[in-house]
Structure 1
């Protein structure tokens, strides 16, 4: 997204019209990587319409950019339609002119995410643009007056970076990190409504995965060889399934199945479902779906992992 924003700013500030071609290519690759890139495109189009830059729509370059982005993203779109057979619609679902041309873009994108109850980090790619624009604006102000504020602002930036570095970078051990956060009165941010871990989720989600895979591997290895060939490993979310896929070859495990996000679209592979090793916090659903369910106990985990990951049982069905 930042690359697309950079190119859009260059276009608005007089870059050659062919720059739209590069913007279209970057936007298309962005859509291939993350569908939320479409929000950028919608916000950019509406922002341009609300400013004097609307004349861009009378020229062929902006339309060519849209076509290029569409063509690059087309394989993804075709796959969505042909393989998934459905597309989840998002509708579930006195001032200087040079500066004012950009004023609507982020507001429109932010409004889209607020209306659709997007998570707070979805707009994070826009922050570098805002920091750069704000820094340039303050630089102009401080160049004319309040020059004495420059070293003070630089000092605050450096001090803030030093104070927050252990919170945003893996510098300290979990024990020391928690003690540090208490010392600076930093409350653990909640990125998920069910987040109850001691650590911030971005840290907690880095613990317990290989321990979980080892637990599953022991159960898998305890099955007779003829059952292992038919046994599928089913996980409740892409984190667990991704851990099986990442560490599994080390422990002789087959790829995981899941109904979560893209794992749902990848389907059951060649498994029939006659023998399943399932990760779940209880056997209620499995008891209704299988004739025999054996609970092999809780997985191994880390005390720093997310709480719901520590509660997973290994069920042989």
Structure 2
């Protein structure tokens, strides 16, 4: 939608991600209010989320996890409303956002496990006998149904994708440091006392105990299942909200001087850590030391360089071919970044749609009349020679800023090749990939 409304605009593309994170921040403050917090608690909870690593990062990217984060936060908010008012109709709202979560990212199944476990291990178990609860389940399944039907029709390709990337992440050590990531990525490090207090308060509170288990159960499942550290980030706003309420009540028992000292230290600590987070992720300057600091510490930022140059180089290779060969040329890519760049930016150069074998793009197949000449991007020389016939070096993949990233370092060469060595149907099955 962002591309349709704003064209190839980075601001337009990221607008909806920014809106999603802004809503998550606001809803966190509302959770603190519903839990009995005053202005200090509401501001502290919202500020803690606004200066935490994962929500800041999700606002700079347009990806499914940006919206998954919001759905988790909204589910927690409506669970709080449910438990506070004891009005079972809130299950319908919970069902809506569980359904949207299932449409967005399947890791919400771990959150669902937390919801069900929380019900079983608290007084909320009585809702299993409520028709409103089962109505919420029906709403969630109805929203999820198109996605499930698509999966059935396509051999549950997303499950194969998830199995592959999980095995890759474990093999490459991306699941290491899970516990430390809860402190430095999922929430503002200086706000750790708030979310720890929030988890304890939820578990000790008879009315709201369900929310404590909604955190503990996914935490245990991700920890023992070797999940990535950021997978649980969206569970922290509800903890920060409850912790801020508890903190506000404790601060109210102090003298006026100590109250000011404690609040000043708490907000200053979160602000300092927030500046560090923004300096790494946003970054805070378009050039100079701050930009270099961000590039050094933010691998995702480095991956934003060179895409327009890649497309221009591919177009130049195509234009260098004899006129009779240009009409039969195809562009075959090795990853979804190259695919996206050529799909979005390639139309300005009248390039054909890229041929991709990665993730669900593989389902699109290859052209009905397969191209006899291929511009191959994202392959090493050895891999290109193994897969295609008559390959020769045709160009280089890099960026004028000199930023070292995956494109410039891992596969810097672009090749001009003949058709695959295998017949196209066999080649397509052999080279299906996930990433």
**What TM-score do you get using the length of structure 1 for normalisation?**
0.84
Indicate the SS of the match to 1:98.
Answer: coil
Deviation (angstroms), 1:10: 1.3
Indicate the SS of the match to 1:253.
Answer: coil
1:158-189 superposed Cα distances (whole Å, 9 cap, x missing partner): 3433454322322213542266x4xxxxxx8x
1:60-100 superposed Cα distances (whole Å, 9 cap, x missing partner): 22222122111111111111111345562767899331343
Corresponding position of 1:115: 224
Corresponding position of 2:384: 286
CA contact 1:233–1:255 (8 Å) conserved in 2: yes
Distance change (3 Å), C-alpha of 1:91 and 1:198: closer
Residues in 2 aligned to 1:257 and 1:124: alpha-carbon distance in whole angstroms: 35
Corresponding position of 1:129: 238
Residues in 2 aligned to 1:114 and 1:41: alpha-carbon distance in whole angstroms: 16
Corresponding position of 2:296: 198
Deviation (angstroms), 1:117: 2.5
Q: Which moved more, 1:135-144 or 1:238-247?
A: 135-144
Distance change (3 Å), C-alpha of 1:222 and 1:113: farther
1:133-171 superposed Cα distances (whole Å, 9 cap, x missing partner): 221221122122363422332333334334543223222
CA contact 2:356–2:362 (8 Å) conserved in 1: yes
Corresponding position of 2:102: 31
Deviation (angstroms), 1:46: 1.7
1:14 aligns with 2:14: no
Residues in 2 aligned to 1:50 and 1:288: alpha-carbon distance in whole angstroms: 57
Residues in 1 aligned to 2:155 and 2:237: alpha-carbon distance in whole angstroms: 35
Indicate the SS of the match to 2:368.
Answer: coil
Q: Which moved more, 1:106-115 or 1:243-252?
A: 106-115
Residues in 2 aligned to 1:220 and 1:156: alpha-carbon distance in whole angstroms: 54
1:211-250 superposed Cα distances (whole Å, 9 cap, x missing partner): 1111111112223444333322221111111111111112
1:303 aligns with 2:402: yes
Residue 156 (structure 1) aligned to one of 266, 269, 273: 269
1:88 aligns with 2:159: yes
Residues in 1 aligned to 2:315 and 2:308: alpha-carbon distance in whole angstroms: 10
Indicate the SS of the match to 1:297.
Answer: strand
CA contact 2:308–2:345 (8 Å) conserved in 1: yes
Runs ≥4 residues deviating over 6 A: 89-94
Residues in 2 aligned to 1:276 and 1:211: alpha-carbon distance in whole angstroms: 19
Corresponding position of 2:32: none
Indicate the SS of the match to 1:276.
Answer: strand
Corresponding position of 1:100: 209
Residue 314 (structure 2) aligned to one of 209, 216, 223: 216
Residue 141 (structure 2) aligned to one of 50, 56, 70: 70
Residues in 2 aligned to 1:13 and 1:267: alpha-carbon distance in whole angstroms: 52
Residues in 1 aligned to 2:285 and 2:247: alpha-carbon distance in whole angstroms: 34
Residues in 1 aligned to 2:218 and 2:207: alpha-carbon distance in whole angstroms: 20
Q: Which moved more, 1:223-232 or 1:290-299?
A: 223-232
**What TM-score do you get using the length of structure 2 for normalisation?**
0.63
1:50 aligns with 2:121: yes
1:240 aligns with 2:353: no
How many pairs are equivalent? 302
CA contact 1:21–1:61 (8 Å) conserved in 2: yes
Deviation (angstroms), 1:279: 0.9
Residues in 1 aligned to 2:344 and 2:333: alpha-carbon distance in whole angstroms: 14
Structure 1: gaps spanning 5 or more residues = 182-187, 189-196
CA contact 1:231–1:271 (8 Å) conserved in 2: no
Indicate the SS of the match to 2:154.
Answer: helix
Distance change (3 Å), C-alpha of 1:229 and 1:200: same
Corresponding position of 1:167: 280
Structure 2: gaps spanning 5 or more residues = 1-71, 167-200, 418-435
Residues in 1 aligned to 2:245 and 2:105: alpha-carbon distance in whole angstroms: 29
